Amino acid sequence: MFNVGEEIKLEISGLSSNGSGVGRVNGFVVFVENALTGETVKARITKICRNHAEATTQEIISESPHRIKRSCKAQNCGGCVLMCLKYEKQLEHKLCVVNDALKRIGSLETQAEEIIGMEVPFRYRNKARFHANDGKIGFFAHNSHEVTDISDCIITHEMNKTVIKEAKKIENLPQEILFRVGFNTGEILTNPQILGKTDFIYEKLSDVNFRVSADSFFQVNTVQAEQLYKTALEFAAPDNETVVDAYCGTGSIGLYFSKKASPKKIIGIEINEKAVRDAKINAALNQVQNASFINGYSENIFKEIAKEASVVVVDPPRSGCGKKLLKSLIDNKKNVRRLVYVSCDPATFARDAKILSEGGFYLQRIKAFDMFPQTAEVETAAIFI
């Protein structure tokens, strides 16, 4: 039909979940980078697979009215694929991605009721991992290990500019530079040491304090994390009940619940030993006495404490919940009154939601959150009863 390197003219009929334009040539799907719904583009084929091809836009022949000029100077840094789309349209698209996954992958009727976007959808990241090579500092270009040199990342806190500037003065930098900033405390961490501290910083969400180590998981968007946790709490509504916070990271969800509501007990489960240590310190920091944290796999630990669990929160990585954990949740459906599932991947969420629904849970409500404006990522919080 066509070959790699060939240029073709395409009409774009939709956007994929990873933000590429979707076009068709005689029914064969082509995913086109930097192309928006309704546009006609000239695109160069970069890859041909069995069921689809991939291409990059060479020329926009007819432009979408929703296209805007990218406000970032960095070209090809591999991120922010939706920056050329008006923000309200980004939100519409992400809500569709969630609802489409629920229907298509989950075979579920429930749809996300809304998407919570940001008032200012820039400068929201409290963390960045820059690559350094040959005096260049930035991110890997799309599909490559070539470092795109930048002086600023406009989705990251202002201080990233100073970190990059100072890092460029240092000889023999390691290949990776970690930058973290507490939005509500002003504390800075860099690794290696460029500015601020190297080991941990403090951050605050509402009136809850967190110590965050260099390598522990902490929500990257501080402003939206609070929106997400508020909804998780509204869904979980722990009333003198034991809450299991599986995949708990530094204990943030459970501790937020403890400070804002009255759970009987919080039991966190987390595989990263350092995050568990931070979670314990965070409990003390917030004078929370009813929280304990177990270092281990949620899949293994949950079944041992399942009998106590009236409310369960799961917030797994992109791959979703382990099969063994889903099975234990289903086996313990009698005592698990409410299950809150926080997810950063609509496809794996929908897959797990289907398994949970077939096992007797009912997906009652789901909301989407724009934790990463300008990118194709979307987060959800859902309640199963």
Ligand X SMILES: C[S@@+](CC[C@H](N)C(=O)[O-])C[C@H]1O[C@@H](n2cnc3c(N)ncnc32)[C@H](O)[C@@H]1O
Instruction: Report the catalytic residues.
Output: 344
Residue 169 and residue 135: Cα distance in Å, rounded? Answer: 9
Choose, by CB under 6 A, the member of 23, 79, 106, 322 that binds ligand X.
322
Of the candidate spans 76-84, 111-119, 193-201, 245-253, the one that interacts with ligand X by CB under 6 A turns out to be 245-253
DSSP string across 300-340: HHHHHHGGG-SEEEE---TT-S-HHHHHHHHHTTTT--EEE
Site string for ligand X, 271-310 (x = CB under 6 A): xx--x---------------------xxx-----------
Residue 256 and residue 302: Cα distance in Å, rounded? Answer: 21
Of residues 19 and 320, the one with the C-beta less far from ligand X: 320
314: contact with ligand X by CB under 6 A: no
CB of 349 to ligand X, least distance (A): 12
Of residues 54 and 315, the one with the C-beta less far from ligand X: 315
Match 């949970």 to its residue by tokens.
356
Task: Kindly provide the residue ranges of all beta strands, DSSP E only, lying in the chain, ordered along the sequence.
Answer: 7-15, 21-25, 28-33, 40-48, 52-62, 115-116, 127-133, 136-140, 147-149, 176-181, 188-191, 200-205, 208-213, 242-246, 265-270, 291-295, 311-314, 338-343, 363-369, 379-384
Residue 139 and residue 237: Cα distance in Å, rounded? Answer: 41
Of residues 34 and 224, the one with the C-beta less far from ligand X: 224
Of the candidate spans 96-104, 142-150, 266-274, 364-372, the one that interacts with ligand X by CB under 6 A turns out to be 266-274
Choose, by CB under 6 A, the member of 253, 363, 378, 382 that binds ligand X.
253
Residue 353 and residue 382: Cα distance in Å, rounded? Answer: 9
CB of 251 to ligand X, least distance (A): 8
Residue 377 amino acid letter = E
Choose, by CB under 6 A, the member of 247, 361, 369, 372 that binds ligand X.
247
218: contact with ligand X by CB under 6 A: yes
CA angle 290, 320, 360 (to 5 degrees): 80
User: Could you tell me the end-to-end alpha-carbon distance of the chain, in angstroms, rounded to an integer?
Assistant: 50
Of residues 121 and 316, the one with the C-beta less far from ligand X: 316
Fill in the DSSP letter of residue 357: H
Q: Is residue 332 within 8 Å of residue 349, measured between CB atoms?
A: no
CB of 41 to ligand X, least distance (A): 35
Choose, by CB under 6 A, the member of 217, 341, 361, 384 that binds ligand X.
217
Of residues 156 and 252, the one with the C-beta less far from ligand X: 252
Those residues with Cβ within 8 angstroms of residue 148's Cβ, 6 or more apart along the chain or in another chain: 74, 75, 76, 77, 78, 136, 138, 139, 140, 141
242: contact with ligand X by CB under 6 A: no
Residue number with the shortest CB distance to ligand X? Answer: 249
Distances (CA, A) of 191 to 157, 249, 300: 16, 20, 33
Choose, by CB under 6 A, the member of 219, 224, 286, 375 that binds ligand X.
219
Of residues 79 and 316, the one with the C-beta less far from ligand X: 316
**Binding residues with ligand X: total (CB under 6 A):** 20
CB of 246 to ligand X, least distance (A): 6
Can you give the binding site for ligand X, defined by CB under 6 A? Answer: 217-219, 247-249, 252-253, 269-272, 275, 297-299, 315-317, 322
